[in-house]
Each structure stands twice: as structure tokens, then as C-alpha cells.
Amino acid sequence: MILSSARHHCTTWLVPTHRVPVLRITRRFTHNDNRDNADLDDLREKSHRQRKTEWKRRQGGQTFLDHLIINVRGGSGGNGCAAFHREKFIAYGPPSGGDGGRGGDVYILPTPHLTTLSSIPKRIRGEPGGHGQGTWQNGKGAAPTIIKVPLGTVVRELKRDDPRRAKDEWEAEEESLQGLDPSEKREKMRANRWVHYPRSADDNVERDSFKVAEQAMYKLERERRFARRTRLLNPIHLDLDQEEKLEVPVDAPLGVKRLEPMGHLVASGGQGGVGNPHFVSTENRSPKFATRGQEGERITLSLELKLLADIGLVGLPNAGKSTLLRALTGGRVKSEVASYAFTTLNPVVGVVRVAGDGSYEGGLQQGVVYGETAMEELLHPDQSSAAAATEDSSSSPDLASANPHTVPDPQSRADAAESHRPGHHFDIIENFRFTIADNPGLIEHASDNVGLGHSFLRAMERSLALVYVIDFSNSAPWDELVVLRDELEKYQPGLSAKARMVIANKADLLAPSNDAHAVEEAKQKLQFLQDFVAQHMVLESGRQLDVVPASAKFNQNLQKIVGLMTDYVRDARAAQ
């Protein structure tokens, strides 16, 4: 901090009070301390994450970086040049000032290599064109600037009445002229538009030919301004969910270069100024003035990233959405799992890979338990964060008895599990894949920015299907469904019509296989849930939601879920 002040030639080294480094006073633990070191680390990690969660909740979910406002300016054109040709034996050569180059245009291009908007600068300026020079040398046109944004970004130009919009080029000039008297204004505007041959400025402005040229320039400017205003009636609105490819035609001659796609033009660069030869007339054979380059267009764009996941998981905090995502993807996705609310702060997308026989990648390893991530990292620091504890499968509760939907494991799946050790290449047997998004928890009144708000649902708008995840071990899990449906509707009327399935998660907690009474109770609870869904959650189209009990943690009955999800995605893709 002090160094940076010094770099800015600050004579007194002042350190802003809010930047004074805070010394962390941590309690030292001795060997006598009865706490285990591992527990301690766990505690520290948890408290750090919980502080982060609290901070995020205080922001009302406003920090989720899927929305960005950027100011874009096209590059300004290069100035024209006022010069006269000089040559041996030609004392007074003709006007020879070159024109300025065109300012660089700014394009926006979707790319699959980006997943976040965070790398995009908030102010983007196109490159300026080169100035014209003597001996008829024109300035160089500037190269275009390409803003790369992730696939799935929606670009909107902010309207004129939007307070977040930056001033356009004319408004900026008007502001700079405020408070000046008319003659000062005229002079400043002239200085912004004209280049004069040395020591001839005063003489130029008196000449009729200059006055005519100035009138013509203001007329053109008014036309440009009118055209710009008319364009604002149709502000830019781009939905960039397709990658752009410029295919070279098959019959193109050899040596034709493969052109890179540029994307969509959002702000054009200014025209270059013109050199003094353009002002030659019968009255004035040696004009001593040229024009400056025009400024590039200035616009304010709002970028909004909609994640393109085929399936979106919607549930209250702690329902087990993140655990489910990890289980379905075989632990490849690093979505945080912990036992407190709002563990997941931003949507996380994972890919579910399905083989020809319906088995999925996460289901190949038997007896895997997807516990809490911080604990797993402590227990298996050498493994990746996707590490999952493997337990004896007989100790994990068996859902089959309580579950009418259980699909018996096909023999082929067991074979696949044997023939493909962890770390195998699923690619050999994969024949279908879809993406699934784990969302932060949604709670009642999320629409009033309670909890993490519901701005993250923007990412779900274009999912092919939504899936409710509820904690089946709660006393009245059906109430959760009503809350979730209402919040979806409050966010966007009609969004809940995308729901296809209810996953009654944590079913393992109610039906330990050795307790017949508990199994019977679980069956009744499941029946009640199914009846409730059939009566109260019917969609307008008359479609019923599927209800599937499962245990994400113990990887049980997920085969059925993957099968149904595959059907939804296949149907929806076919209907598109």
C-alpha cells in the first residue's frame, strides 16, 4: 500500500484507514488442547465459508456475476492533415494533406472458451485511426476490437432514459460546453472539429470558403445525430447462444484463408478526418485547413449470462442439491456440500454422461458415499476434492423396499462397473450426455431478496426442464413444493410449468432396511407425497410430475432419476 502511494509520487505516505492491515489474532492451541487438529481446520474452513455466506446474504444476492454493464466506445477517427507539397524547384506545391484513418469498430463475439463475465473490462474503447500526413499519406484504419463473451450471453443496449447509461458523444460535448458564452462555445466546437495550417487559424475562420465548409459539416453532423436517434428506437438486443463459425466453402480455391468470425457490430468507429486537398475550390486554391476525425459511437451495454443447462435443480437450502449433482457426475463437479443453509452461492453446472444401457458415470462405482466436501478433504487430503468416501454398501440403507420405482440394476451395469475402474474412459460407452445445474437454495420470500434472492434463477430460464429436490426426511416435505412453485412463479410467471420431477431426497434417513415398521411408515409417507403432487401440483397442461425417492448421499435410486432426465431432455430437444 505504501509502495503504491510512492509510485504515485505522493509526498506524504498516507494509508487509508480502511486499508490498514488487520492483524488476525488466532488462539494458539497446545498439545494439551483436547481438540483434534483436523476438527480445528474443519471449524476454521467452515467459519470462513459461513462468513462468506453471511456477507453474500447481506448483499441480497446482488453479487452474483452473471450481469455486467459495460461502456463501449468505437475508436475515434484519425485527423486529416493540412499540408502543401514541397519539391525542388516547386516553391508552392498543391495541397497534399492525407486523410485520417477510420477508428476501430467494436464487435461482440460469443465463445465456448469462457464461462464467466468476470474477465470482461467495464470500459472498452476501439483503437483510434492513424492521422493523415503530408505528401497525400492517408492514416491507417484501426483494427477492430472484439469483445469475447461466454456462450449464452444476452446483450442489451440500455435505453436513453436508463440512469445507468453513460453519455453519448454529443451529450458529452454539450456537457463540456456548459457555462461558456456563445463565442467561447463556437471556438471550442471549432477546435474540436478543425485542424489549421500553422499560424493560419485566425485567417481561416474569416474566409468564406471555410464558413461554407463549416456549415456543410454541421449539416452532416445533424443528419448523423438524427440517424443515431432513430437507431435508438431499435436498441441492440442479441441472444448469443450459438457459436459463430465461418466455414470455408468446399469449392474455395486453394490458398483461401480461413477467416475468423468477428461477431456482431456494437459500436462503430468514427470516420477519419479529411485532408486539405478536399477543400480546394475555384475561390480557394490553397485551403489551409483540414478536419479532425469523428468520435466513435458510445453506447452502454448490459450483458447477462444465462447458463445453458438442460436440467435445473430447484430446492430449499440443505435439500441435497449439491450432493445430487456430485453423485450424478461421479464426483467430478466441485460443488460445495455442507450441513448449513446456503452452502452453494452461485449456480454450478455439471455434465451427466449416460451409456447405451442407461447406466451413468456416477453409478459405476458401488458403495460410494458423497458426504460433506470439507470433511472429505480433511479425510482424504491426497485425493481430489471430488473424493468420495467408499463405504461397505451393506451398511448404507437400502431404499429398494420403500421404493416402488426402483429399477433393478441391469447385469450389464455391474459388468460395466467391473470392467471400468475409477478413472476409466467413459467415452467408450457414453452415448448421451446432458448438463445439469445446481442452484443456491431458494426460500420463501426470495422475491423480496430474502436469502440469496432469486436473481440466480435467470440462469434457469432457458433450461429444458426443472426438477424439485426436497428433503424427504422433513415432517411435511410437501409444503416445500408449494413454496418452491410459488417462488418460481413470482420470479417469472409460467416458469414452474417447466418442472418435470420431484426428487424426495434423503430417503435413506427414513427407511433403514432392518426396521419393518419404519419401512411401512416411509411407504405411507411416499404415497401421501405422490397423492399430494397428483392433486395440488398438476400443471396447466394437465401433466403430472414424476415423484422419485432417492438418496444422493448413498447413491441410491439415481439410475431411475437419470433415466427420467434423459427422457425429458430427449423430448425437449426433439420439440425444439
Ligand X SMILES: Nc1nc2c(ncn2[C@@H]2O[C@H](COP(=O)(O)OP(=O)(O)OP(=O)(O)O)[C@@H](O)[C@H]2O)c(=O)[nH]1
Q: What does the binding site for ligand X look like in residue numbers (CB under 6 A)?
A: 315, 317-323, 337-339, 341-344, 371-372, 440-441, 505-506, 508-509, 551-553
Which of the listed partners (Mg ion, ligand X, none) does 491 bind, with a CB threshold of 5 to 8 Å by partner kind?
Answer: none
Q: What is the per-residue burial (b if ≥16 Cβ within 10 Å, else e) of 183-200?
A: eeeeeebbeebbbbbeee
Which of the listed partners (Mg ion, ligand X, none) does 463 bind, with a CB threshold of 5 to 8 Å by partner kind?
Answer: none
Report the nearest approach of ligand X to the CB of residue 451 (Å): 9
The nearer residue to Mg ion, 79 or 318, going by C-beta atoms, is 318
Place of cell 483503437: 127
Report the nearest approach of ligand X to the CB of residue 109 (Å): 34
Report the nearest approach of ligand X to the CB of residue 341 (Å): 5
Report the nearest approach of ligand X to the CB of residue 327 (Å): 8
Instruction: State the DSSP string of 366-427.
Output: TTEE---HHHHHHH-TTS-TT--EE--TTTSPP-GGG-TTPPPPPHHHHHHHHHS-TT--GG
The nearer residue to Mg ion, 154 or 349, going by C-beta atoms, is 349
The nearer residue to ligand X, 338 or 416, going by C-beta atoms, is 338
SS3 helix, strand, coil % of the chain, rounded to 5?
35, 20, 50
Q: Contact residues for Mg ion (CB under 5 A)? A: 322, 343-344
Report the nearest approach of ligand X to the CB of residue 471 (Å): 8
Report the nearest approach of ligand X to the CB of residue 9 (Å): 49
Comparing C-alpha atoms, which of 525, 272, 365 is closest to residue 533?
525
Which of the listed partners (Mg ion, ligand X, none) does 553 bind, with a CB threshold of 5 to 8 Å by partner kind?
Answer: ligand X
- C-beta separation of 316 from 441 below 8 A: yes
Report the nearest approach of Mg ion to the CB of residue 541 (Å): 30
The nearer residue to Mg ion, 322 or 403, going by C-beta atoms, is 322
Instruction: State the DSSP string of 496-562.
Output: GGGEEEEEEE-GGGT--TT-HHHHHHHHHHHHHHHHHHHHH---TT-PPPEEEE-BTTTTBSHHHHH
- C-beta separation of 345 from 452 below 8 A: yes
Cα 336 from Cα 327, distance rounded (Å):
12
The nearer residue to Mg ion, 291 or 323, going by C-beta atoms, is 323
Which of the listed partners (ligand X, Mg ion, none) does 109 bind, with a CB threshold of 5 to 8 Å by partner kind?
Answer: none
The nearer residue to Mg ion, 403 or 439, going by C-beta atoms, is 439
Which of the listed partners (ligand X, Mg ion, none) does 505 bind, with a CB threshold of 5 to 8 Å by partner kind?
Answer: ligand X
The nearer residue to ligand X, 434 or 456, going by C-beta atoms, is 456
Report DSSP state, residue 304: E
Report the nearest approach of Mg ion to the CB of residue 397 (Å): 22
Which of the listed partners (Mg ion, ligand X, none) does 97 bind, with a CB threshold of 5 to 8 Å by partner kind?
Answer: none
The nearer residue to ligand X, 145 or 344, going by C-beta atoms, is 344
Instruction: State CA 257 to chain mean position distance.
Output: 32
The nearer residue to Mg ion, 108 or 552, going by C-beta atoms, is 552
Cα 545 from Cα 469, distance rounded (Å):
12
- C-beta separation of 132 from 291 below 8 A: no
- From residue 356, alpha-carbon distances to 331, 353, 362, 433, 434 in Å are 21, 10, 15, 11, 14
Report the nearest approach of ligand X to the CB of residue 550 (Å): 7
Report the nearest approach of ligand X to the CB of residue 444 (Å): 14
Amino acid identity of 243?
E
The nearer residue to ligand X, 481 or 552, going by C-beta atoms, is 552
Which of the listed partners (ligand X, Mg ion, none) does 548 bind, with a CB threshold of 5 to 8 Å by partner kind?
Answer: none
Report DSSP state, residue 281: -
Q: Give me 473's grid cell.
A: 426426511
Which of the listed partners (Mg ion, ligand X, none) does 509 bind, with a CB threshold of 5 to 8 Å by partner kind?
Answer: ligand X
Which of the listed partners (ligand X, Mg ion, none) does 318 bind, with a CB threshold of 5 to 8 Å by partner kind?
Answer: ligand X
The nearer residue to ligand X, 29 or 55, going by C-beta atoms, is 55
The nearer residue to ligand X, 129 or 451, going by C-beta atoms, is 451
Which of the listed partners (ligand X, Mg ion, none) does 289 bind, with a CB threshold of 5 to 8 Å by partner kind?
Answer: none
Report the nearest approach of ligand X to the CB of residue 489 (Å): 20
SS3 label, residue 213: helix
Q: State the sign of the Cα–Cα–Cα–Cα dihedral 228, 230, 231, 233.
A: positive
Q: Name, in order, each residue with C-beta under 8 angstroms of 286's C-beta and a sequence gap of 6 or more.
A: 84, 92, 94, 95, 280
3-state SS record for 132-201: CECCCECCCCCCCEEEEEECCEEEEECCCCCCCCCCCHHHHHHHHHCCCCHHHHHHHHHHHHEEECCCCH
Which of the listed partners (ligand X, Mg ion, none) does 355 bind, with a CB threshold of 5 to 8 Å by partner kind?
Answer: none
Which of the listed partners (Mg ion, ligand X, none) does 338 bind, with a CB threshold of 5 to 8 Å by partner kind?
Answer: ligand X
Report the nearest approach of Mg ion to the CB of residue 53 (Å): 11
Q: Give me 200's grid cell.
A: 493560419
Amino acid identity of 98?
G
The nearer residue to ligand X, 73 or 506, going by C-beta atoms, is 506
Report the nearest approach of ligand X to the CB of residue 343 (Å): 4
Which of the listed partners (Mg ion, ligand X, none) does 350 bind, with a CB threshold of 5 to 8 Å by partner kind?
Answer: none
